[in-house]
Chain A
Amino acid sequence: MITSKRVSLILLALAMVAMAVAHPLQLAAQAATPKSSSGRDSSGGVQWSVQVVQVDPGDVNLSPSFQIAIYESLLQELGKTKQFKQVLREGDRNATEVSDLLILKTTVQKYTAGSETRRAVTTVSGATKLTVRSQLCTRGGQVIVERTVDGNVRFLGSNLRATHNLARNVANTIKQSALPEPSLSVPAQGAQ
C-alpha cells in the first residue's frame, strides 16, 4: 500500500516536472514564429522598431535588481518575438536615425515580494506578484497600445523569475495587439 502510494507520488512529481518543462518550450516555439529581418513583417508591411525605456517604479518600493531584471527581460523577450525590426535600449544614439520608432514605457503598479521558501514549504502562499502598466507610444507621445500586465511566480522558481514571466506576458500582449502601419504614424519629433 505504502509502496504504491510512493510510486504514485513519484509519477505525479514527474508529471509536474514534465509539464513545467513542456510549457516554456511551447511558448518559445510560439514566440519563434519566423518573420523577415529586412524590416518587413509576414504581410509585407514595414516593421516598427521599438526602444525600451527603463522601468518606472512608480510609488512601489521595488528593488533595483527587479527594475533591471524587468528591463533586461523585456529587451530579450521583445527580441524573441521578431515583431520589431530593431529592439533598442534607452539612451541608444542609433534611435535618432530610426524613422519608425515606438517607445515602450513600463510603470510598476503593484508588487508583492513573496518568498521562495514560503512557496516551497506551504505551496499556497509566498507568491511573488508584479503588475505593470505598459504603454507603447510614438515619438510624439501618442499612445498606441496600453495594457496592464501581470507576472507571477506561484510555485517553482526564484522571485526574479516573476520578471521573466512578466516580460514574456508583455511581449505576448504586444504581439497580439494590432499595431498601425508605420507610414500612418505621427512624424518624428526627436528621440527620447
Chain B
Amino acid sequence: MNRRIVPAEHTPHGYMPMPHRVWAYLILLIGCAVAALAQNASPPTNVTAPFSAQVTHLMGFEGAANNAGGTLSIQGSALQFQKNGKPAVEVSIASVQDVFAGDQSRQVGGLPMTLGKAATPFGGGRVVSLFAHKKYDTLTLEYVDANGGVHGAIFQLQKGQGGTLRDELVARGAHVRQSEDEATKQSTAEVSSDHK
C-alpha cells in the first residue's frame, strides 16, 4: 500500500540508465560536430593553393611594362601578371621552355635615396650604401609565343619566393632544360659572383 513512486529510469542501484542516454547523445553530437568540422576544414587533397605574389616585372613579359610592380599568379594553366588597375597579361605554362631561379641585391629607395646619399657630407653616402641594399630572388622564364618566337621574361620577387614559384611552374607542366643539379650550380654561381 505504501508504495514509493519510482521513475522508470531509476533502479535500486541509482540513476544509471539516464546518464547512459545522455552520454550516448553527447557522443553522437560530438561525433557529428567533428565530422562536420573535418569536412569544412580539410581542403581537397589533390588541389594545391594557387601561387600569387607581389613582384616587379623587370623585362620581357609580353604586354607588361618594364620595371612595373604587380601581382604574379598562377591561374589554372596560365601564368598571369597584373599591374594594379591594368588588364592582366598571361602566358600558358605549357609554353614555358625553361625556368631559372636566381637572386640579386638591389639598392632600395630609388632616386631619393641616391640623391640623399650624394648630398650626405664627408662621404657618409658610402656608408648609407652599405645598408641600402636588399636581396631579392629573380625568376627568369623562357617561353614561346603563338608564332614560335622565343621570349624571355625576368621577374624580381621577395627572397624565398623564386624557388617556390619555379617548383610550382615545373609541377604544372613548365619545361626545364637544365637538370636540377645544373640549375642549382648556376644559381649558386650567380649568387657568388653577383653579390651586389
Chain B binding site: helix, strand, loop or mixed by DSSP?
A: mixed
- Which residue from A10, A90, A113 sits with its C-beta under 8 Å from B119? A10
Query: Which interface class (under 10, 10 to 19, 20 to 34, 35 or more) fits B?
Result: 35 or more
* Chain B 159-196: CB-based contact to A (< 8 A → 1; otherwise 0): 00000000000000000000000000010011001111
Task: List A57-97 residues whose CB lies under 8 Å from chain B.
Answer: 61, 63-65, 67-69, 71-73, 88-94
**Complex interface: chain A residues within 8 A of B151 (CB):** 72, 89
Q: Are B115 and A5 in contact (CB under 8 A)?
A: no
Flag if A13 contacts B118 (CB, 8 Å). yes
What is the interface size of chain A, counting residues whose CB is below 8 A from a CB of the partner?
A: 42
Q: Do the beta carbons of A68 and B153 come within 8 Å of each other?
A: yes
**Chain A interface secondary structure, helix, strand, loop or mixed?**
helix
In the complex, the answer to whether B115 meets A13 with C-beta atoms within 8 Å is yes
Residues of chain A touching chain B, judged by Cβ–Cβ distance below 8 Å, are 2, 5-6, 9-10, 12-14, 16-17, 54, 61, 63-65, 67-69, 71-73, 88-94, 113-118, 120-123, 156, 158-160
A-B contact pairs, 14 of them (CB 8 A): A2-B121, A14-B115, A64-B140, A65-B102, A65-B104, A65-B138, A65-B140, A88-B149, A89-B151, A92-B147, A93-B147, A121-B129, A122-B126, A158-B107
Interface residues of chain B, those whose CB is within 8 Å of chain A, are 58-60, 98, 100, 102, 104-107, 111, 114-115, 117-119, 121, 126, 129-130, 132-133, 138, 140, 142, 144-145, 147-154, 186, 189-190, 193-196
